[in-house]
Amino acid sequence: MRNRHKLTFIFCCAIADMVAMVLGTVIFLNLTNEVTNSWNSLILDKLIAIAVLSWLFSVTYFKLYRVDVLFSLEDFFRNSWRSFFTQRILWHSYIFIFHDDLTSRFGSKANLFSLSFLLVYFLLSRVLFTFFREKSKGSFFKPYRVAIWGFNKTSIELASHLESNSFFIDFVGILDENSKENYINKHEFNTGLSEAIENANLSNINELYIVSNPELIEDLNHFFLLGDKHCMRLKFVPDFSLISKRNFNSSHLNNFHVINPRYEPLQNAYNRLIKRVFDVVFSSLVLILIMSWLYPVIAYFIKKQSKGPVLFKQLRTGIKNDSFYCYKFRSMYINNNDEGEQAKKEDARVTPIGKFLRRTSLDEMPQFMNVLMGDMSVVGPRPHMIKHTLDYICHIDNFMVRHLVKPGITGLAQVSGLRGETKKVSDMKRRVSTDIQYVQSWSIIKDLKICFLTIIVTIKGDENAF
């Protein structure tokens, strides 16, 4: 019953939103045809299709009709408006490209009436959806009682999650929260758990989460059969809080429960494909549109001011601790004895053109060739010299975590003010911590945001760039 009503509600919301989008476009078309004949008929014929497709893209991207979003008021309202404004931007972008009358595009009566209709619809519909959702909880849904047995750190975290996602359930709480029982052996524990299942049945519990140390359970199948006898769903949650205070990430490999030290989005092949496509497209555009004319200009000044090659290459640590040659515009005078030394403020080794290149980060531009070759990514932890990698491994335990992904031309640490010389180990620890944060929270949106912030930081100037 719960699933049927959930799907019906989601279906009604989706259909109502789609009809509103079509009606808004129809209003626009009717008023446009009355006012002007300057529009290309091919453009008008496709506007409804564009409205539908752009709306489908928006709701899919923001996951508007997912159950956890639709039945969370904050997420529902936020993602509704995100989807609406994204659809409007895409729809108007289509008109902007294929129609050259600015007044007809944005300041017209047709556009005003269409936008007003959609705004009013979204305001009223979200209020009505919320009202119906709250009323339907008691009217249509039979309470589905859920409880937890086992009082520990893991069960408290689970209880918090269930309470925040309790629209379709009646969360009773932790059954033994006030119990003074302290089970010291398997026999006492299993006896207590059997009694808890019997008592939960008497309390009409439909689903019981058992949160405990796996070592205390003798036969899990016995308890599952006991739950089946009472038509109660039992779910076993291993408690690893005594093993470590860190938050693990868990996954499944067939019937094996796998515990990972952290969540890494780029472990997913689909995410890696998205990142690689972005890298190839972005770096190709930079090399064709910018480097094609910038390279000879910079090369001229480098060769004029000092002897040596235009490009400087150096072994750096890459993904999986593999080394690769990282390319840069040469910004220093040739000196074979100090390649392993970091650049300092007012460094005498830096050439006049080199100061400009380093201050504006233009010396990093040849690394887009590294991106095309697959050694680097546009966004990622900055690659360090081999010597520095070996030095910091001894001082920072999780230093090598940053090498689980490809190094980048720019990164989260760089736009967070953590670029430049690292005089103390604590400076590098902050950079590594930020890099690991990126590894754990990667998304293509985050990459785009970091690219945008890199441009802003470059234009404003970074005091650590020297």
What is the per-residue pLDDT for 408?
94
Whether residue 16 is predicted with pLDDT greater than 60 in this model: the reply is yes
Q: Ranked by mean pLDDT, which of 56-65, 336-345, 399-408 comes out on top? A: 399-408
pLDDT at site 331:
85
d(C-alpha 342, C-alpha 64), whole Å: 48
For residue 350, pLDDT over 90 is answered with no
pTM for the model: 0.64
Instruction: Give the HSE-up count for residue 77: Cα atoms under 13 Å, Cβ half-sphere.
Output: 8
Question: Is the pLDDT confidence value at 42 over 50?
Answer: no
CA 444 to chain centre: 7
Residue type (1 letter), 161: H
Closest by CA position to 356, among listed 286, 310, 302 = 302
The distance in angstroms from the start CA to the end CA of the chain is 65
For residue 80, give the amino acid letter. S
Bridge partners of 315, per DSSP, are 325
Q: Name the band, by pLDDT with cuts 50, 70 and 90, for residue 344.
A: low
71-95 pLDDT, tens digit per residue, is 777 788 888 898 999 998 888 888 7
What local confidence, expressed as pLDDT, does residue 465 receive? Answer: 54
Q: Which helix (H) or strand (E) holds 65?
A: none
145-245: CATH topology is Rossmann fold (3.40.50)
Return the structure tokens found at 145. Answer: 């009682």
Q: Is pLDDT above 80 for 223?
A: yes
SS3 332: strand
SS3 409: strand
What is the per-residue pLDDT across 376-432, written as a single tens digit (0 to 9) for each? 999 999 998 888 888 888 888 888 999 999 999 999 988 888 776 666 777 888 899
Task: Identify which of 413, 407, 421, 340 has the alpha carbon closest to the alpha carbon of residue 376.
Answer: 407
Note the pLDDT of residue 103: 47
Q: Rounded mean pLDDT of 133-140?
A: 61
Output the pLDDT for position 343: 57
Average model confidence (pLDDT) across the chain: 82
pLDDT number for residue 293: 94
Rounded to whole angstroms, the Cα distance separating 387 from 381 reads 17
Total count of residues recorded for the chain: 466
Percent of the chain at pLDDT > 90 equals 28
Alpha-carbon gap, residue 66 to 390, rounded angstroms: 47
Burial level of 173, CB count in 10 A (0-12/13-18/19+)?
Answer: exposed
Residue 365 has pLDDT above 70, yes or no: yes
Q: Rounded to an integer, what distance in angstroms lies between the CA atom of residue 261 and that of residue 250? A: 8
Q: Which of 291, 290, 275 shows the shortest CA–CA distance to 327?
A: 291
Give the whole-angstrom CA distance, residue 376 versus residue 9: 46
Question: Is pLDDT at 100 greater than 70 in this prediction?
Answer: no
Determine which helix (DSSP H) or strand (DSSP E) holds 179, and give its type and residue range. none
Q: Which of 83, 209, 225, 81 is nearest to 154 (CA)?
A: 209
Answer for the pair 365, 437: CB distance below 8 angstroms, yes or no: no
Instruction: Give strand pairing partners of 236.
Output: 210
Residue ranges of the domains in the chain?
2-139, 145-245, 269-460
C-alpha to C-alpha distances, 238 to 3, 210, 244, nearest whole angstrom:
28, 8, 13
Pick from 360, 380, 356: which is nearest to 370 by CA?
380
Percent of the chain with pLDDT over 70: 84
Residue 250 φ/ψ, nearest 5 degrees: -115, 150
Dihedral sign from CA coordinates of 82, 88, 90, 96: negative
The 10s digit of each residue's pLDDT in 295-322 is: 999 999 998 888 889 998 999 999 988 9
Provide the pLDDT for residue 139.
55
